[in-house]
C-alpha cells in the first residue's frame, strides 16, 4: 500500500472548520484514500473515503487533488468531541480486510 504523510498535530477552535492535510504522492490508480479517527480509549472509526472525486457525508468532506497526490479532510464545524487522532491511509479496493495505520494527526479542538 502507498505511504502517507500527515502533520503530527494540529489545533482547531470549536465551531471552526478543521482542515487536515495528507500527502500520498506514490498512490497508484486503483488505490482509495481513506480516513479514520480514533478517539482516546476507543477503537478506530471510519470517516470517509474516495478515489478521485470529492466526497461528503454527515461527518466530513474529502477533497482529493486532481493528480491524487494529496487530499484534505474537512470537519466543517469542529466540536470538542472531534478531538482525536486522524489517520489517512491509501489502499486497494480489494484489500478490505487489512488496515494499517501510521502515527496520524492528533487534532485538539479547543473551546
Partner 1 sequence: KAGVTQTPRYLIKTRGQQVTLSCSPISGHRSVSWYQQTPGQGLQFLFEYFSETQRNKGNFPGRFSGRQFSNSRSEMNVSTLELGDSALYLCASSLLGRRGLAGESAYEQYFGPGTRLTVT
Which residues would be at the binding site for partner 1 (CB under 8 A)?
Answer: 41-46, 49, 87, 93-94, 96-103
What distance in Å separates the CA atoms of residue 48 and residue 37, rounded to the nearest whole number? 10
Specify the residue, 15 or 102, whose C-beta has the smaller distance to partner 1: 102
DSSP state of 27: -
**Shortest spacing between CB 99 and partner 1, in angstroms:** 6
DSSP state of 16: S
DSSP state of 80: G
Specify the residue, 41 or 53, whose C-beta has the smaller distance to partner 1: 41
Lookup: cell for 66:
486532481
**Shortest spacing between CB 13 and partner 1, in angstroms:** 28
What count of other Cβ atoms lies within 10 Å of the Cβ of residue 98? 8
What distance in Å separates the CA atoms of residue 68 and residue 24, rounded to the nearest whole number? 8
Specify the residue, 67 or 98, whose C-beta has the smaller distance to partner 1: 98
What distance in Å separates the CA atoms of residue 23 and residue 90, rounded to the nearest whole number? 10
Specify the residue, 38 or 72, whose C-beta has the smaller distance to partner 1: 38
**Shortest spacing between CB 61 and partner 1, in angstroms:** 16
Amino acid at each position: 500500500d502507498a505511504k502517507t504523510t500527515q502533520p503530527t498535530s494540529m489545533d482547531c477552535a470549536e465551531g471552526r472548520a478543521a482542515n487536515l492535510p495528507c500527502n500520498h504522492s506514490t498512490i497508484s490508480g486503483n488505490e482509495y484514500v481513506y480516513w479514520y479517527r480514533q478517539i482516546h480509549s476507543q477503537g478506530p472509526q471510519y470517516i470517509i473515503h474516495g478515489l478521485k472525486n470529492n466526497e461528503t457525508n454527515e461527518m466530513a468532506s474529502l477533497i482529493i487533488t486532481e493528480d491524487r497526490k494529496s487530499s484534505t479532510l474537512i470537519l466543517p464545524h469542529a466540536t470538542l468531541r472531534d478531538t482525536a487522532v486522524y489517520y489517512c491511509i491509501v489502499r486497494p479496493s480489494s484489500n478490505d480486510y487489512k488496515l494499517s495505520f501510521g502515527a496520524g494527526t492528533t487534532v485538539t479542538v479547543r473551546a
